[in-house]
Amino acid sequence: MKRFFLLMLWAALPLTAPAQVFDHTHAAWGVLLEKHVVLIDGGKSSQARYAGFAQDRAALKTYLGILSKVSVQEFAGWSKPQQMAFLINAYNAYTIEKILTRYPDIRSIWDFGKLFGNPFKDRFFRLLGREFSLDMIEHDTLRKPGAYNEPRVHFAVNCASVGCPMLREEPYVAVRLDTQLEEQTQRFLADRSRNRYNAATNTLEVSEIFKWFGEDWTSGYRGFDSKGEAMRSLAQFFAKYANLLADAPDHRQAIAGHKAAIRHLEYDWTLNDSRK
């Protein structure tokens, strides 16, 4: 009788294994970033050890496989910070994978081509149940009007280029996402090779990111300036971080008072490779 009961109990068990819970700490990605991201310029920028990533490509592909298994339904059930962390990490990890398909014979991500083979438009991976591209992550999802309203993602996604905001040395995670995005913002703005005040011309020389995506800081951005007012312009945004963009008090006052003209620096698309 006991044996019969056990057989009946076994027969009642589900035949399929339970769905694996997604790791929102992105620990597997974190191991790779810790090993292969090199901080430079006092932590304001970074380089990637692509040779190291190449050696650990199997681990990278395993992580990408985990990302690709997430369904639209599962994604929809997450909080917005969880969704954003997932998308940012996916963008950065798939960019690394794209570079590795040609490494070491590559000097810029644009070596893939701009018209044909465009690395940002090429749907070279699956995400959320369909073929996806890097542009679809950034522009169609993260920047989708009304979705997240968070322009600081531009300081988090990394396009494998010197001119791009740095590849962070750890994964983005929902529980610390706001703190991480703010730190990325401050790091980027403090990097004088990409954002700086020119006293000779009273000009704020900033990255072309602010030219390409300037509307993201004026379209529903929920950030607040130094006076606690909702941001409506890039000038307000720069004013909030005037102390990072200049050293002298009068230069900072010019930025904070919206009295500095804005000029965009040429973007450096050289591969952000570390040979160390």
pLDDT at 134: 98
Q: Which residues contact 201 (CB under 8 A, 6 or more apart)?
A: 261
Q: What does pLDDT average to over the chain? A: 91
For the segment 16-37, the average pLDDT, to the nearest whole number, is 87
Q: Which one, of 114, 115, 119, 86, lies nearest residue 101 by Cα?
A: 119
Q: Tokens representing 16? A: 């399929």
Residues 6+ apart with CB under 8 A from 97: 57, 60, 61, 64, 125
pLDDT at 141: 98
Is pLDDT of 11 > 90? no
Q: 204's torsion region: left (phi>0), alpha (psi -120 to 50) or beta?
A: beta
State the pLDDT confidence band at 229, using cuts at 50, 70 and 90. low
229 vs 22, more confident: 22
Residue 249 is predicted with a pLDDT of 97
What are the sequence ranges of the domains in the chain? 23-264
Q: Would the pLDDT of 8 be above 50?
A: no
Would you say residue 155 has pLDDT above 60? yes
Angle between helices 57-68 and 80-100 (to 10 degrees): 140
Residue-level pLDDT at 6: 41
- 192-217: average pLDDT: 96
Residue 88 structure tokens: 């940012």
Q: Would you state the pLDDT for residue 4?
A: 44
48 and 35 Cβ atoms separated by less than 8 Å: no
Element (H, E) at 46: strand 45-48
Residue bearing tokens 């607040």: 224
Residue range 167-186: average pLDDT?
Answer: 98
**pLDDT value, residue 219:** 72
Pairing type for strands 130-132 and 125-127 reads antiparallel
Rounded CA-CA distance 154/45 in Å is 14
Which residue, among 38, 26, 149, has the nearest Cα to 91 in the 3D structure?
26
Stretch 83-87: mean pLDDT, rounded? 98
pLDDT of residue 211 exceeding 70 = yes
- For residue 226, pLDDT over 70 is answered with no
Give residue 227's pLDDT band: very low, low, confident or very high (50, 70, 90): low
pTM greater than 0.85: yes
> How many whole angstroms separate alpha carbon 41 and alpha carbon 188?
11
Per-residue confidence band for 15, with pLDDT thresholds at 50, 70 and 90 = very low
pLDDT at 105 over 90: yes
Tell me the pairing of strands 37-40 and 45-48.
Answer: antiparallel
